[in-house]
DNA sequence: CTGAGACTTCGGCCCTGGCCGTAGCATCGG
DNA sequence: CCGATGCTACGGCCAGGGCCGAAGTCTCAG
């Protein structure tokens, strides 16, 4: 709702898109990824303060949604309809798409492959683990929660994680948006348990002085057997065309 | 071309639509009719001088075309693409409403039942027509194109529409998202042909001074026989849970 | 030819809104 | 507990642009 309390009008939507900084922000998000406020400020070539104001307006108008994660706030388009509208406007503008600039900052390759995120795994390793558990039907993920299926409970118990913890209020499983991969990995008690067991088993080890983790040779054997994950899981993904 | 000589950007298009007076002008033209500068000034509730400036900008940007006739200048949307973009923006603008308040927006009931969208039918009537043709296997719709089947070609030819037009590059059939119904109706040459034939046959008639259309008694007979559509097609649909 | 009507151009007023510097709050790592 | 980082709130500056009155151009009617 806008200040008047009336529904948004086409003119208000147009005015929002009409500012170059905001247009750049929207275009940066048209791929569907979630980006942080800082990255979007960089994309729009304005300072963080200025971008913050723009993002508030876009979110207020319902063009963007935001999810806070730690000290980052991840913004994404609120709906595919918004993307469709933007593409439609591009058609009318007969604009050639500017070369797709990656707003990402230089991320240490080791960190991107695998790292800890508080108490659980992140990076391509964390995402691959989440993907594997979901793909094999061991875990189901919703918007902001998740659960182990029957087969998943069985697997986890064998692996050394109690799938139905009692006496704890901690959320068992929660999807956590991975900041380098922009896809969910597993947080909550499940994520913590997986990290702990992998460390205990010597499957992965911390890299000195960083949050990065490295998979050991023994670890690849174990991860392959238990979850079907191989070293290729750590290769950078191809960009879709 | 804008002053810089570069192609128009999405932000420039947005800024044009972002002014309430210009938005009113565009919306007044979305029905496909040509209106004079004076009429558009009245629609936008600004003086003739102000409207003149707006119309110059919109024309310069390629959103409108103008044709001088005597001492009048007639403006119309430059292309169905512009109409589609505007409808798309209305979809997004109406998305912002909180779910349960949405249907209560004051959309004129007549407009919601049936209206023209540039050169084709929209509203519940337009959607019902699209639904009927698809349900009976006369038309197949894809993401952004559509085609008549063999039975559809037969039906359309009998109805007075050439299903395989030659010598024209216009897209024959395209789904166009209906902003009040949130479901596709038929645009392209097929949509234009259906509207024209329905008007010519006296099945529907325009309501004075609006984009709304009304189905005549004769029209219900014809629509029922040709496409299996009855007056209940115009009843508001129940909200799905 | 003259006057009326439709539209545009010009000039000046004014205000909205984008921008950044500074400062403040929350979170994370050590 | 401390410093660094990510983000937001506030205040002031300033330009862009919307608006209208006055005046000019073109067309039509008589």
**Model pLDDT for residues B131-140, shown as the tens digit of each residue:** 899 888 888 8
Establish whether the CB of A3 is closer than 7 Å to any nucleic acid atom in strand C: no
- Name the residue with tokens 């409403």: B97
pLDDT at B7: 57
pLDDT at B10: 92
- Name the residue with tokens 């558990």: A133
pLDDT at A95: 31
A164 within a domain of the structure (yes/no): yes
What band does B99 get if pLDDT is binned at 50, 70 and 90? very low
Establish whether the CB of B72 is closer than 7 Å to any nucleic acid atom in strand C: yes
Same domain, A77 and A176: no
Same domain, A87 and A168: no
- Strand residues in B70-215 grouped as ranges (E): 72-77, 115-117, 120-122, 139-141, 146-148, 174-177, 184-187, 204-206, 213-215
B140 within a domain of the structure (yes/no): yes
Number of domains observed in the structure of chain B: 2
Task: Look at residue A169 and tell me whether its pLDDT is greater than 50.
Answer: yes
B29 within a domain of the structure (yes/no): yes
Establish whether the CB of A4 is closer than 7 Å to any nucleic acid atom in strand C: no
What band does A65 get if pLDDT is binned at 50, 70 and 90? very high
Same domain, A114 and A229: yes
Residues from chain A contacting residue B96 (CB–CB below 8 Å): 1, 7-8, 61-62
pLDDT at B67: 85
B191 within a domain of the structure (yes/no): yes
Q: How far apart are the first and last CA of chain A?
A: 36
* Domain end marker among A60, A93, A126: A93
Same domain, A135 and A206: yes
**Token digits for B226?**
């040709």
Mean pLDDT of B12-24: 96
In percent, the amount of chain A with pLDDT more than 70 equals 81
Task: Look at residue A8 and tell me whether its pLDDT is greater than 80.
Answer: no
What's the CATH number where B23 sits? 1.10.10.10
Three-class SS of residue B210? coil
Q: Which long-range contacts (CB under 8 A, 24 or more apart) does A103-106 make?
A: A103/A28, A103/A35, A103/A39, A103/A40, A103/A42, A103/A43, A104/A39, A104/A180, A105/A39
More confident residue, B176 or B59: B59
pLDDT at B100: 43
The set of residues with CB closer than 7 Å to nucleic strand D is: A 36-39, 41, 48-49, 51-53, 55-56, 66, 71-73; B 15, 19-21, 46-47, 49-50, 53-54, 57, 70-71
In percent, the amount of chain A with pLDDT more than 90 equals 32
Task: Look at residue A69 and tell me whether its pLDDT is greater than 70.
Answer: yes
User: Which nucleotide in the DNA or RNA is closest to residue A52, CA to C1'?
Assistant: D8
Whole-angstrom Cα Rg for chain A:
21
Same domain, B111 and B224: yes
Lowest mean pLDDT among A92-96, A181-185, A187-191, B22-26: A92-96
Whole-number mean pLDDT of chain A?
81
Same domain, A14 and A57: yes
A 192-221 residues, CB < 7 A, strand C: 209-211
Same domain, B67 and B39: yes
A138 within a domain of the structure (yes/no): yes
Nucleotides of C under 7 A from a protein CB: 5-10, 17-23, 26-30
A 26-65 residues, CB < 7 A, strand C: 46-47, 49-50, 53-54, 57
pLDDT at B105: 42
pLDDT at A98: 32
A177 within a domain of the structure (yes/no): yes
pLDDT tens-digit map of B141-181: 776 677 888 888 998 998 888 877 766 667 788 777 776 77
Same domain, B138 and B181: yes
Subunit contact A23:B11, Cβ cutoff 8 A: yes
pLDDT at A180: 67
pLDDT tens-digit map of A201-223: 999 988 765 678 889 999 999 99
What band does A54 get if pLDDT is binned at 50, 70 and 90? very high
A2 within a domain of the structure (yes/no): no
* Domain end marker among B29, B48, B78: B78
**Chain A contact for B89 (CB, 8 A cutoff):** yes
Residues from chain B contacting residue A58 (CB–CB below 8 Å): none
Nucleotides of D under 7 A from a protein CB: 5-11, 17-23, 26-28
A148 within a domain of the structure (yes/no): yes
Same domain, A115 and A218: yes
Same domain, B66 and B132: no
Query: In which domain, by residue range, is B212 found?
Result: 96-234
Beta bridge partner(s), residue B187: B174
CA atoms within 13 A on the CB side of A202: 3
Same domain, A40 and A131: no
What band does A241 get if pLDDT is binned at 50, 70 and 90? very low
Same domain, B72 and B166: no
Distance of A138 CA from C11 C1′ (whole Å): 73
Task: Look at residue A104 and tell me whether its pLDDT is greater than 70.
Answer: no
């Amino acid at each position: 709702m806008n200040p008047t309390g009336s529904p948004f009008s086409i003119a208000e939507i147009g005015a929002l898109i009409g500012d170059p900084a905001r247009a750049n922000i929207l275009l940066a998000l048209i791929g569907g990824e979630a980006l942080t406020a800082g990255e979007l400020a960089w994309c729009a070539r304005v300072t963080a303060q200025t971008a913050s104001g723009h993002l508030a307006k876009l979110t207020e108008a319902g063009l963007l949604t935001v999810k806070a994660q730690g000290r980052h706030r991840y913004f994404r388009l609120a709906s595919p309809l918004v993307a469709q509208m933007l593409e439609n406007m591009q058609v009318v503008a007969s604009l050639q798409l500017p070369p797709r600039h990656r707003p990402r900052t230089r991320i240490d390759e080791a960190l991107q492959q695998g790292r800890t995120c508080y108490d659980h795994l992140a990076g391509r390793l964390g995402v691959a683990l989440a993907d594997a558990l979901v793909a094999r039907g061991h875990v189901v993920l919703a918007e902001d929660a998740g659960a182990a299926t029957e087969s998943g409970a069985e697997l986890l118990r064998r692996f050394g994680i109690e799938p139905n913890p009692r006496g704890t209020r901690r959320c068992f499983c929660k999807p956590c948006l991975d900041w380098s991969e922009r896809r969910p990995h597993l947080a909550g008690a499940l994520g913590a348990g997986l990290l702990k067991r992998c460390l205990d088993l010597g499957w992965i080890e911390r890299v000195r002085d960083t949050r990065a983790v490295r998979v050991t040779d023994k670890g690849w054997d174990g991860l392959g057997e238990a979850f079907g994950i191989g070293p290729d899981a750590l290769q950078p993904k191809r960009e879709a065309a």
